[in-house]
């Protein structure tokens, strides 16, 4: 294994209506990987999906941003972010983060 995938979801602003989703890659070896961040969001007004991909050169201790996206969310939502790392045709790492907010 030459890299580890990470997904972060952080609030932006005081009202909690904006989230920033970022895909990051940490190098633990040396080489070139392709990282693909897929984000799915659904709430009362519908759903959306986006995907961003890029190639990265990694080295031990390196950290790179694949993509960062700001999303608007309502009180009742589900957000799923998956970051997949590939080396050639082989998948070498996957992380999946799901955030759900259901009002009481």
Topology of the domain comprising 3-101:
Immunoglobulin-like (2.60.40)
- Please give the pLDDT value at position 52: 96
Q: Where are the domains of the chain?
A: 3-101
pLDDT digits (tens, 9 = 90+) for 33-64: 999 999 999 988 889 999 999 999 999 999 99
Q: What share of the chain is helix, strand, coil (3-state, %, to 5)?
A: 0, 75, 25
pLDDT digits (tens, 9 = 90+) for 49-104: 999 999 999 999 999 999 999 988 877 899 999 999 999 999 999 999 999 987 76
Q: Name, in order, each residue with C-beta under 8 angstroms of 93's C-beta and a sequence gap of 6 or more.
A: 1, 3, 4, 5, 84, 85
Mean pLDDT to the nearest integer, 1-23: 89
Residue 16 has what pLDDT?
Answer: 66
Residues in the chain: 104
Q: Give the pTM.
A: 0.91
């Amino acid at each position: 294994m030459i890299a580890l995938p990470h997904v972060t979801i952080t609030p932006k602003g005081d009202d909690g209506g904006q989230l920033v989703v970022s895909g990051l890659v940490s190098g633990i070896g040396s080489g070139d990987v392709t990282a693909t961040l897929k984000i799915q969001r659904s709430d009362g007004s519908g759903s959306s999906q986006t995907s961003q991909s890029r190639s990265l050169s990694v080295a031990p201790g390196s950290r790179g941003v694949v993509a960062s996206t700001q999303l608007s969310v309502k009180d009742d939502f589900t957000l799923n972010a998956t970051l997949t790392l590939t080396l050639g045709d082989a998948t070498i790492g996957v992380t999946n983060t799901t955030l759900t907010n259901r009002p009481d």
